[in-house]
């Protein structure tokens, strides 16, 4: 079984992020879900993104690094949207990473180094019509990652929703979220 460090999105540690973590735990995986916002949860994505900008993206990544301290090196790093920043940073820079699951976002690998680390599998999941994922360059970063790393996969789902895998939000899309969960569990079984 795999051990996962899962980071929440810009709206905070919502019940939907907790429910996703529980679905991984129910399959036998160990999942840590730190609260990078110290208890704050936002009803609206724009308010959450404004809070993240106010805190500073570097601060979010640093909080993610702090959350990894004391945990084993052999982790799978996972993140929902904003949470991809610390997840991807740790997967690329912390020794011993077992893999990465990047949901709703992907940043260029050059943000955290020269290249994706060899032998660290990664999945990127996003909707093909999501303005945040497509128009802000995440899909291009994901395609570049897949082109440069043999263990990288990009999964695109039909639709326009951003946080479609968070069951507590209006953007939740049940069919796509169920497929994300199945693919994430198969990934974890493969690296665990």
Question: What is the tens place of the pLDDT at every residue in 80-139?
Answer: 999 999 999 999 999 999 999 999 999 999 999 999 999 999 999 999 999 999 999 999
Element (H, E) at 78: strand 76-80
Q: Per the structure block, which two tokens stand in for 130?
A: 């999501």
Alpha helical stretches, state H, the chain: 15-26, 45-55, 57-68, 84-93, 131-135, 138-148, 174-191
CA distance 124 to 184: 10
Per-residue confidence (pLDDT) for residue 192, from 0 to 100 = 75
Q: How far is CA 59 from CA 7, 29, 96, 163, 164, in A?
A: 14, 28, 23, 22, 26
SS3 per-residue string spanning 121-171: CEEEEEECCCHHHHHCCHHHHHHHHHHHCCCEEEEEECCCCCCCCCCCCCC
Whole domain around residue 35: which residue ranges? 3-191
Weakest mean pLDDT among 49-63, 126-140, 158-172 = 49-63
CA distance 8 to 10: 7
- CATH value at residue 90: 3.40.50.1820
Report the pLDDT averaged over residues 39-56. 91
pLDDT surpasses 80 at 75: yes
For the chain, the domain total comes to 1
Phi, psi of 100 (to 5 degrees): -145, 140
pLDDT tens sequence across 6-40:
999 999 999 999 999 999 999 999 999 999 998 99
């Amino acid at each position: 079984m795999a051990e996962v460090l899962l980071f929440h999105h810009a709206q905070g540690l919502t019940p939907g992020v907790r429910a996703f973590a529980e679905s991984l735990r129910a399959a036998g995986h160990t999942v840590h879900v730190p609260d990078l916002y110290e208890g704050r949860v936002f009803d609206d994505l724009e308010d959450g993104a404004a809070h993240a900008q106010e805190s500073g993206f570097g601060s979010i990544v640093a909080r993610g690094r702090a959350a990894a301290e004391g945990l084993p090196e052999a982790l799978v790093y996972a993140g929902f949207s904003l949470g991809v920043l610390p997840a991807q940073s740790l997967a690329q820079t912390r020794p011993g990473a077992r893999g990465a699951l990047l949901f709703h976002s992907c940043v260029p690998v050059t943000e955290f180094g020269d290249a994706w680390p060899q032998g660290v599998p990664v999945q990127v999941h996003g909707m093909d019509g999501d303005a945040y994922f497509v128009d802000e360059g995440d899909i291009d970063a994901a395609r570049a990652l897949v082109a440069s790393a043999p263990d990288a996969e990009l999964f695109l789902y039909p639709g326009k929703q951003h946080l479609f895998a968070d069951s507590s939000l209006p953007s939740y899309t049940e069919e796509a979220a169920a497929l994300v969960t199945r693919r994430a569990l198969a990934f974890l079984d493969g690296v665990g």
